Structure formats: structure tokens, C-alpha cells
Amino acid sequence: MLIACCRKAVSSFEPKVLSLLWFLALGHFSATFVQAQDLRFTQWHASDMVLNPAFAGAGAGGRFTANFRSQWPDMPQTYLSYRICYDQPISDVNSGFGIYMLQDDLGDQVLKNLNLGFQYMYQAKVSSSAAFNFGAQIGMVQRKLNWNQLQFYDQINPVYGFNNAQGIPNPTNEPQPADLSTTVLDLGLGAAFVTEKAYTGISFLHVNQPPNTFYDYEEDRLPMAISWQGGLFLKQKHRKRDPFMAEPTVQLISQGGFSQLQLGSYFAKSFVMGGFFLKNNFSGMSDVSILAGLKKDWILFTYSYDVTVGGLSGETGGSHEVGLIFRLDQAGKHSKGKYYSVLPRPSVF
């Protein structure tokens, strides 16, 4: 319906049609609601609990994280995302909790997504240096559609475009949804195995597959996202002061027929951080990502840039991502004894 209409209009008229097509390509929105995918942040160190609730409270202490991502800024209208999270271990009960907020603004706020949730993690110790984490999350997803910002094929006047001679938008026969705002329940589960030098985890997000439509299309649902994460913690031996550290990581994500593999590594030396990552969609390489950061006491600032490769190389402007982390309790890493405290996920951060 709308997809076919936009294809006919795109060669002649305004950027909003182009931006709408890019949202369709990203899998977020259409009048018939093709299957959507979650946004993928590049900076794994700042999104472990978002990808897997089993990592909520898996730091040495409380963590406050904020992220901003601008995806494909050279396209007609960019895709902006914001994320704020807080998580905290609770050593007395071998647990952790997390709260998160994610918001996406698509195409000059044509479509806005807001995701709020709470996470709980329980840790079962195998030994003083190894443990299983089990996590669950409950949240809500709110979507708001600005219908007046959309333009359809049947609005096109061959002379004046989408407006008439007086500059007034032409009418459309596309049916407007009865409600331009929806709120649905969203559930997730996760598990992980952590040691002092390695970790691996698997998560199942949107396990209830909540509705993903403004219309009464019962079959249009947000598909479950299955994600596997793994990493190693490597530290230079025989150097106690400012050792060189590395954290090779791997992520495999599958959702709604779309899969992506991300391979790479973080590096750290003194107050300087770095990273290099490759993303592959199994149909070819999609992005090459470079990260740089600075750490001062309990504050970490990072910036990453995704270089788009493949068929869209040179067309999108890549993606910019900024992260800010506050580590609130590094000194309390094992305040109640190594065995009884929550074993943190090993990380160069």
C-alpha cells in the first residue's frame, strides 16, 4: 500500500517520502507494518544490560549510563536515539537491578518510540571466581505517530506536488489510525556465565511479541530478539601500574529474519580507551566501527563512528555515537568478601 506509493513518488518529490523509505529499509514502520528490529548500539560496554538483563547489576558498583546515536545523518532526515540506564548490584542477596529508558526519533519526529523498563538479576555462585546470572525484565513500549507529517502517493499533483496552488496539502484516501499513540507490555529473559577473565550470555527480548501496529492487525507483532554475547578480559602481566588491557568481544543477534554478527575488541592503557569492530549482516559487511575514549577516576567518555560499507557506502554519512558512564562505587568491588559479593562482568572499563 504505502510502500508501493512511495516508490512511485520518490523520483520526483519531497524528502519526507525519501526519509519514510529509509525507515522502511531499517524495518521500523510502514502502513502495513513490516517486521521491525531493535536499534543496535555499537558501544557494547554501555549497553550490556540493555542487550541482556542477566548483566543488570553486573558491574563492581552502581553504574549510570547515557548514550546518544545519530544514524545515517546524510539521508534526507536522520534517525536519532537516546538511552539512559542505571544498574546496581545488591551483594547481600546475590542480586542486581537495573532501570532503563530508550527513545527513538525517526524523521523529524514522524514516529517516536519510548521504551521504559525494570530488570532484576540473580547470581548463583559456582566458586569465588565463577557464577551463573539469571535475569528478567518487564517494561512498556509507547509509540507515537505524527500523521500530519506523512505524505502519500495519492496526494501528488503533477504540477504542484503534494500541495495545491494555494500551498494547502492535498487530501489523501489513506485511512488514519483511530489512535496515534499505543502502549504495550514488553518482557525479556536472559542468562549469563561470568568468571574473572571471561563471560558469555544469551538473552530473549520481546518474548511476548507485543503488537507493533497502529491498526487492528493482530498478526503485526514485534518479533522476539535472540542475542548471544561473549568476551575475554586480557591484562598485561608483570606490570601492576597502568597495564595494557584488551577485551575481545562477539555479539550475534537474530530478530525477525534479520541477523547481525559484531566482532571486535576494546583496548585500554592508563586513561585512554580504544576499540575496533566489524559488523556483518550475513549478506555482506555492513559497518566498520572505530571507538575512542577517555577515563578520569570514575567517569568515562567514549565516541564511536560507524563507517557504512557495501551497497550504501558513501551515501549515509555513517553513524555517530556518544557514551557517558559514571562508575559510582569502584572501591566497593568486594566489600563483603570475594565469595559472597556479586561477581562483576570482567571489562577494561
Domain ranges across the chain: 44-149+181-332
pLDDT of the residue at 14: 46
Question: Rounded to whole angstroms, how far apart are CA atoms 206 and 184?
Answer: 11
Q: Kindly indicate the confidence band of residue 20, based on its pLDDT and cuts at 50, 70 and 90.
A: very low
Q: What is the mean pLDDT of residues 137-164?
A: 87
Q: Which amino acid is at 215?
A: Y
Does the pLDDT of residue 196 top 80, yes or no?
yes
Residue whose C-alpha is closest to residue 251's, from 290, 276, 280: 280
Q: What is the mean pLDDT of the chain?
A: 84
Write the pLDDT tens digit of every residue in 237-284: 877 788 999 999 999 999 988 999 999 999 999 999 999 999 999 887
CB 208 within 8 A of CB 221: no
Whether the per-residue pLDDT at 233 is higher than 80: the answer is yes
When pLDDT is averaged across residues 175-192 and rounded to a whole number, the result is: 94
At 36, the pLDDT band (50, 70, 90 cuts) reads: low
Residue 3: band (very low, low, confident or very high) from pLDDT cuts 50, 70, 90: very low
Opening angle at CA 307, ends 302 and 312, nearest 5: 145
CA torsion sign, 177 to 182 to 185 to 188?
positive
Closest listed residue to residue 302, CA positions, set 41, 12, 14:
41
Residue 219 reports pLDDT greater than 90: no
The more confidently predicted of residues 7 and 179 is 179
Look at residue 163 in the predicted model and tell me its pLDDT. Answer: 82
Q: Give the lowest-confidence range in 63-72, 158-167, 221-230, 248-257.
A: 158-167
With 0-12 / 13-18 / 19 or more C-beta atoms within 10 angstroms meaning exposed / middle / buried, residue 27 is middle
When pLDDT is cut at 50, 70 and 90, the band that residue 329 belongs to is low
Partner residues linked to 60 by β-bridges: none
- For the domain 44-149+181-332, what is the CATH superfamily, name and number? monomeric porin ompg (2.40.160.40)
What is this structure's pTM? 0.83
Letter string b/e over residues 200-236, b meaning 16 or more CB atoms within 10 A of that residue's CB: ebbbbbbbeebbbbbeeeeebbbbbbbbbbbbbbbee
Selected residue with higher pLDDT from 285 and 235: 235
Residue 200 has pLDDT above 90, yes or no: yes
Q: What are phi and psi of 25, to 5 degrees?
A: -65, -35
Q: Among candidates 279, 324, 283, 328, which has minimal Cα distance to 300? A: 324
The Cα 174–Cα 171 span in angstroms is 9
Looking at per-residue pLDDT, the higher value among 140 and 161 belongs to 140
The mean per-residue pLDDT over the stretch 47-54 comes to 93
**HSE-up of residue 250 (Cα within 13 Å, Cβ side):** 10
Higher pLDDT, 78 or 324: 324
